[in-house]
A and B are shown apart, each in its own frame.
Chain A
Amino acid sequence: MNFDLQYMLEISLQIAKYIPITLVLAIVSMVLAIIIGLVVALIRNSNIFGITHVAALYISLFRGMPTLVQLFIIYYGLPQLFPSLTTMDAIMAAIIGFSLKESSYLAEIFRAGLNSVDKGQMEAGLATGMKRVQIYSRIILPQAALNALPATGNTFISLIKETSLAFTLGITELFAEGKMIASANMRFFETYLVVGLIYWLLVILYSWIQKYLEIWLSKPLRR
């Protein structure tokens, strides 16, 4: 069989050098997506007339378009409208695209998380004379975070894998590097297998971190 294990081991290190860029794409996008998602979820949950509809539209729009199309709109499309964006860094474009996309998923997850917190928690806070903002940040969000963690984690796992789309903007990350090495050596199976396994490893590593995060967050709620 035409399979070269030795070759796989050799290129592994070479490809692994691009783990940081993949992680930067995933983590920075995730952090931004969490911030945007939370704001959108809070707006969506507020009953300020009109603006909740804008939030709903935002969620619907970004969830409804393929990630790849969004990346192209931002990187190749926007500079046509705003010439000053021609100098936009591809990494920046990718991060913007990913964070907008993921934020639309997270907004819905966070909204469900917020709504799953017992209404009595807000009432108890108000009745003891606390302000809404204080109750949200100190009582409701920590409880909502636990409820939202599993789904948020799944979103992050998808995002780690989706960062491979960044190669279409000319960014050299894990997948792009694998593609180049594969063509250069004409060994496609081994190379892409290595790339796939590295993604898998990253996902396992994250799942492990999430498990401990969950244990830590749920400490108050265990009997």
Chain B
Amino acid sequence: MINVRNLTKHFDKKQVLNDINLDIKTGEVVAIIGPSGSGKSTLLRCLNLLEKPNSGTIEINDVKLDTQKYKARDAYQLRQQTAMVFQHYNLFKNKTALKNVIEALLVSKKMKKEEAIQIGEDLLKRVGLEKQAKQYPATLSGGQQQRVSIARALAVKPHAILFDEPTSALDPELVNEVLQVIRELAKEDTTMVIVTHEMQFAKEVADHVIFMADGHIIEQGTPEQVIDHSLNPRTQRFLRQMGDESDVAAR
């Protein structure tokens, strides 16, 4: 469960998030769509305090935090509740695929090495990379790196996983292998918040779609409501532009 109340964030004078309210149920898959610069990444990054919000409260699975007064310890507690998959993977460059997956288990969860390795190998298998366990990120393709990063996120058994455009940096032919892994997770009731430009994919996996523009949540609802039958002109305009782009890409 993720509850966000009256979240605001500005960079210098620029208001990037305006009074955001969000309710995500456990097991729910939420897709966030919207034009570039609308604050989607900032919203995700506020949820794990990679960006410091200016006001509002965030509650994730029993850990509740007032963003105006919290201590390093509270931030640490809140971050334990989620894991993040970044657009540019951000795998630890000095660690092998397996070490990337088990790093947090070893240092944060103080797990025994053998046990962590077992979990790591199972997770790599799950994303189809058991053979690449000993390879360093530099030797993996973008799609493989992103799958390792999903395994890394799963390892800590987070309450929810935050995906920030997980396929945007990938060559088109590598997009599907990553989406496939996320589809599998969606089937297993993993709570996920996914920022994406893949409308077809969003429609498939999401229980709930949020359309953002200019730091506001403009519209939200089921994929049918928001993506197929939106009555909101902003949403319609955005979807039309996305449609044009994918037509160009398809050609």
For the complex, count residues of B whose C-beta is within 8 A of A: 31
Query: Is the Cβ of A128 less than 8 Å from the Cβ of B86?
Result: no
Interface string of B143-165 (1 = CB under 8 A from A): 00000010011011000001000
The verdict on A128 contacting B153 (CB below 8 Å), with A123-B90, A142-B94 known, is yes
Number of cross-chain contacts by CB at 8 Å: 83
CB pair A143–B90 under 8 Å, yes or no, is: no
A128 to B161 Cα, complex, angstroms: 10
Are the CB atoms of A129 and B86 closer together than 8 Å? no
Q: Does B103 contact A (CB under 8 A)?
A: yes
Which residues in window 101-153 of B have CB below 8 A to A? 103-104, 107-108, 136-139, 149, 152-153
B1 at the interface (CB under 8 A from A): no
Q: Which of the segments A3-11, A80-88, A131-139 contacts the partner chain?
A: A131-139
State A143–B80 Cα separation when bound (angstroms).
25
Once the chains are docked, how many angstroms separate the CA of A220 from the CA of B97? 11
Interface of A is mostly: helix
Contact of B92 among A124, A126, A222, A223 (CB under 8 A): A124
Instruction: Quote the shortest CB–CB distance from A200 to chain B (angstroms).
Output: 34
Query: Please, which residues of chain B bring their CB within 8 A of the CB of A143?
Result: 93-94
Residue contact A121 to B107, C-beta cutoff 8 Å = no
Complex-state Cα separation, A123 to B79, whole angstroms: 11
Residue pair A121, B84 in contact (C-beta under 8 Å)? no
Q: Are B136 and A138 in contact, CB atoms less than 8 angstroms apart?
A: no
Q: Does B82 touch A at the CB level, under 8 Å? A: yes
Chain A to chain B contacts (Cβ below 8 Å), 14 pairs: A123-B50, A124-B90, A124-B92, A125-B103, A127-B79, A127-B84, A128-B108, A128-B153, A128-B156, A129-B83, A130-B104, A131-B107, A131-B108, A222-B136
